[in-house]
Chains A and B, each alone.
Chain A
């Protein structure tokens, strides 16, 4: 080693020698210097020690790979309703709404006219009655219930259609909501998600599954529902646990500064992690 060599150049020289990144004169310099050779030996020892890391357990490996594959599978597990279908559904609903209202109005108006026409106290009606013959009256009389039946049928058809539309919209909303529930692939993501909840306004209220779905459509952590699992602020999420996607209720344990995931179906605690 030359006199002007600094520690840094010594280290560079040894590094290059160990990695086979040194030219012939450099190698000769090292091999001629017992001090540098000792450094090389020490670095090689450290290097082999570093490389000799303990392999992970089989269970750890399988768990990690399963979690990753669950993320890969996640989109297939929660199909999203195509936006076009949803839009088409809404368009149909918009078209049907005035049409249904108009049809119902016609039916009501028709019924009213029929009632007025049959009012025996009404002079106009009496005049009209005089214009009609008995046969005509006979013919009209049985026809009235038939007409009512048709009206009812039409009303029922409209109601059924409206219900079907509503169901379709609800299904589309539910599918969208399901897809919008965030998937938390790891404890770290759970912690980050829960940390987001902490900063969200705590507006806890009772809520049904429908509310749950509706709030989930925002895609944001929500605190506007009360779960039977946890009385404090919670949100829904899909959490990957041991390679399986589980629907969970997330809450923040402020006392311990931890995020807690409870199984949404059983309320069992599945995971507890420190908040970031």
Chain B
């Protein structure tokens, strides 16, 4: 079963093969979750979004016609699920924004500009990602987390190739700036941005 390609698994699942579907979902779950994690932010939201994505894949199975790659199709669903989760969270009262699984001691105080080692603190990255404009964040995540090529990202987002490149360039540059490397290029440690810092302006 593991030797089967994505398209074969999808075709088998479309024909009612539950085992094939199970394999397909397992093969992609971790990366789908990673995409959701980077787009939606908190781990609880990422869990929900990734589950939504898995369900979305099953529901979309009958309509998948194989014209795009399976990964493009799946990451499109994952991206939408993560964005939906993100929007839901922003509408939610602050009381409900609780990341139960984050140990209390790990919480970052951004004002303290606490430095972490060269291995980037995931909370700093998450904080920076959260401050990135959504368009930039999604493009960067699809490139740097999902490892999609520009064409696939353009397909997922429904935007021209040039726009994808531009969003990735701007997004990465802003991430570097938010994480402090631009201010001190020689520094090899990252810090979470203070919450009151203005987000770098977009062109």
Q: Is A188 within 8 A of B52, CB to CB?
A: yes
Which single member of B84, B96, B144 contacts A274 (CB below 8 Å)?
A: B96
From A15, A61, A186, A274, contact of B30 by CB (8 A): A61
Q: What count of chain A residues pass the 8 Å CB interface test?
A: 48
Which residues from B are CB-within-8-Å of A41?
Answer: 185
A92 at the B interface (CB under 8 A): no
Contact partner of A11 among B51, B88, B125, B172, CB < 8 A?
B172
**Is A119 an interface residue when CB atoms closer than 8 A count as contact?**
no
Contact of B125 among A38, A49, A191 (CB under 8 A): A49
**Number of B residues with CB within 8 Å of any CB on chain A:** 62
Assess the B55–A71 pair: CB atoms within 8 A.
Answer: yes
Q: Number of A-B pairs whose CB atoms are under 8 Å? A: 159
Interface string of B78-103 (1 = CB under 8 A from A): 00000011001001110010000000
Enumerate chain B residues within 8 angstroms of A10, measured Cβ to Cβ. 173
Cross-interface CB contact of A67 among B46, B55, B118, B165, cutoff 8 Å = B55
**Bound Cα distance A191, B85 (Å):** 12
Q: Are B58 and A19 in contact (CB under 8 A)?
A: no
In the complex, A48 Cα to B57 Cα: how many Å? 28
Q: A50-B140, A56-B46 are in contact. List 16 more A-B contacts (CB 8 A).
A: A12-B165, A19-B168, A21-B150, A39-B185, A49-B119, A53-B38, A53-B122, A55-B33, A60-B50, A68-B21, A68-B51, A69-B18, A69-B22, A69-B25, A191-B88, A276-B91
Q: Which residues of A contact B (CB under 8 A)?
A: 7-8, 10-12, 14-16, 18-19, 21, 35, 38-39, 41-43, 45-47, 49-56, 60-61, 63-65, 67-69, 71-73, 185-188, 191, 240, 257, 274, 276
Q: Are A186 and B169 in contact (CB under 8 A)?
A: no
Q: Are A55 and B52 in contact (CB under 8 A)?
A: no
> Which of A46, A73, A240 makes the CB contact (< 8 A) with B179?
A46
The docked-state distance in angstroms from the alpha carbon of A173 to that of B125 is 55
CB distance from A163 to the nearest CB of B (A): 38
B26 in contact (CB, < 8 A): yes
Most buried by A among B38, B59, B144, B170: B144
What's the Cα separation between A15 and B165 when bound, in Å?
8
Residues of B within 8 A of A35 (CB): 185
CB of B181 within 8 A of chain A?
Answer: yes
* Nearest B residue to A258, CB-CB: B96
Interface residue? B29 (CB, 8 A): yes
In B152-203, the 8 Å CB interface with A consists of 165-166, 168-170, 172-173, 175-176, 179, 181-182, 185-186, 188, 190, 203
Q: List 28 A-B contacts (CB under 8 A).
A: A8-B169, A8-B203, A11-B173, A15-B169, A19-B168, A21-B165, A42-B185, A43-B176, A45-B118, A45-B120, A45-B181, A46-B172, A49-B120, A49-B125, A50-B38, A50-B141, A51-B145, A52-B120, A53-B33, A53-B38, A54-B37, A61-B33, A64-B50, A64-B54, A69-B22, A185-B55, A186-B52, A240-B55
In angstroms, how far is the closest chain B Cβ from the Cβ of A173?
27
By secondary structure, the A interface counts as helix
Judging by beta carbons under 8 Å apart, are A50 and B125 in contact?
yes
CB-CB under 8 A for A188 and B48, given A15-B169, A54-B122, A72-B18? yes
Q: Could you list which residues of chain B lie within 8 angstroms of chain A, going by C-beta atoms?
A: 13, 18, 21-22, 25-26, 29-30, 33-34, 37-38, 43, 46-48, 50-52, 54-55, 57-59, 61, 84-85, 88, 91-93, 96, 118-120, 122, 125, 129, 140-141, 143-145, 147, 150, 165-166, 168-170, 172-173, 175-176, 179, 181-182, 185-186, 188, 190, 203
In the complex, the answer to whether B18 meets A53 with C-beta atoms within 8 Å is: no
Closest to B180 in A: A42
The reply to whether B172 and A47 contact each other, CB–CB distance below 8 Å, is: yes
CA distance A270 to B58 in the complex (A): 24
